[in-house]
């Protein structure tokens, strides 16, 4: 497992500010207690278990105990950009993007063990050297990443938590948008997707009202049709088979 302390916490001369230091141990534990979702599904197959043992330790990383994490330092590559996918599911979108853009570093955040196992299979099959995996709560990672260190963010088909009493669990919300605005470079792109009409309205309300983000859509096709450089996912396929129309939203991080 990559240790992201000395080599990543202050890499690139990142300034450490008191209000930007990652959560303390007690705060980290509280975040984990508030995590909602499954961490494991059906038992892994033999090949998946082997990759969990041999490949995952080379791709996973821990957060620094102090300071901020400069993500490019994790890749060991001269990556000019780092893209982040939060909740990569089965990993097909992340793997396809990483194969198309081998010059870019990718961080995938996913707590679901079976999803991580699927991504490891894709990394192995496609011989990807530009992928790293964080297998814990995305809020902890967002709190640790250095300012202006991420060039693109994907949050595709997150759990809509449709019941009103569960809306506080939604990932796309003001606190997470605040953190994304801090870690994204000027001009960075935020891509969101959902097949839930209620969550679509929520996403649009929260993101268009956020001062850091500008919606790029100019016509209905801009959000009804998936762009050519946006690989499909199994969640999109599942939604279409069920008769639900997915929406694809693109936002730009405004200049500071």
Residue 179 lies inside a defined structural domain of this protein: yes
- Catalytic option among 159, 186, 195, 222: 159
Q: Strand 82-86's sheet: what is its strand order? A: 131-134, 105-109, 82-86, 150-156, 184-194, 247-253, 213-215
Share of the chain above pLDDT 90, in %: 75
47 compared with 62, residue with greater pLDDT? 62
Nearby residues of 64 by Cβ (< 8 Å), 6 or more positions away: 4, 5, 8, 9, 22, 144
Residue 51 lies inside a defined structural domain of this protein: yes
65 compared with 29, residue with greater pLDDT? 65
Range with lowest mean pLDDT among 3-12, 51-60, 196-205, 228-237 = 3-12
Question: With bands split at pLDDT 50, 70 and 90, how would you rate the model's confidence at 21?
Answer: very low
Nearest CA to 110 out of 74, 139, 136 is that of: 136
Q: What is the tens place of the pLDDT at every residue in 105-151?
A: 999 999 989 999 999 999 999 999 999 999 999 999 999 999 999 99
* Opening angle at CA 165, ends 173 and 170, nearest 5: 25
Question: With bands split at pLDDT 50, 70 and 90, how would you rate the model's confidence at 90?
Answer: very high
Residue 146 lies inside a defined structural domain of this protein: yes
How many independent structural domains does the chain possess? 1
3-state secondary structure at position 190 = strand
pLDDT of residue 9: 30
Residue 92 lies inside a defined structural domain of this protein: yes
Question: With bands split at pLDDT 50, 70 and 90, how would you rate the model's confidence at 22?
Answer: very low
CATH of the domain at 189: 3.40.50.150
38 compared with 118, residue with greater pLDDT? 118
Instruction: Respond yes or no: is residue 159 known to be catalytic.
Output: yes
Residue 33 lies inside a defined structural domain of this protein: no
CA 218 centroid distance within chain:
26
Asked if 117 and 44 touch (Cβ cutoff 8 Å), the reply is yes
pLDDT of residue 1: 54
CA 70 centroid distance within chain:
15
Give the structural domain span for 128.
38-253
Residue 119 phi/psi, 5-degree rounding, is: -65, -40
Residue 15 lies inside a defined structural domain of this protein: no
pLDDT of residue 28: 47
Mean pLDDT, to the nearest integer, of 201-230? 97
pLDDT at 228 over 60: yes
Residue 17 lies inside a defined structural domain of this protein: no
The rounded mean pLDDT for the chain is 86
Residue 50 lies inside a defined structural domain of this protein: yes
């Amino acid at each position: 497992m990559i240790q992201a302390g000395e080599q990543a916490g202050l890499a690139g001369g990142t300034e450490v500010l008191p209000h930007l230091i990652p959560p303390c141990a007690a705060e980290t534990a509280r975040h984990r207690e508030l995590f909602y979702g499954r961490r494991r599904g059906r038992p892994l197959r033999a090949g998946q278990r082997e990759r969990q043992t041999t490949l995952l330790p080379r791709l996973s990383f821990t957060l620094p105990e102090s300071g901020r994490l400069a993500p490019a330092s994790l890749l060991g590559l001269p990556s000019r950009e780092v893209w982040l996918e939060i909740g990569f599911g089965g990993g097909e979108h992340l793997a396809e993007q990483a194969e198309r853009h081998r010059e870019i570093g990718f961080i995938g955040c996913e707590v679901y063990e079976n999803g991580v196992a699927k991504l490891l299979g894709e990394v192995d099959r496609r011989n990807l050297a530009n992928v790293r995996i964080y297998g814990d709560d995305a809020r902890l990672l967002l709190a640790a990443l250095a300012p202006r260190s991420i060039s693109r963010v994907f949050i595709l088909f997150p759990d809509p938590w449709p019941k009103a009493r569960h809306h506080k669990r939604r990932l796309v919300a003001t606190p997470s948008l605040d953190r994304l605005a801090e870690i994204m470079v000027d001009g960075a792109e935020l891509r969101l997707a959902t097949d839930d009409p209620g969550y679509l309205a929520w996403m649009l309300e929260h993101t268009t009202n956020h001062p850091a983000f500008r919606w790029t859509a100019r016509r209905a096709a801009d959000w009804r049709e998936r762009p050519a450089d946006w690989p499909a996912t199994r969640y999109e396929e599942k939604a279409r088979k069920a008769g639900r129309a997915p929406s694809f939203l693109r936002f730009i991080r405004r200049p500071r």
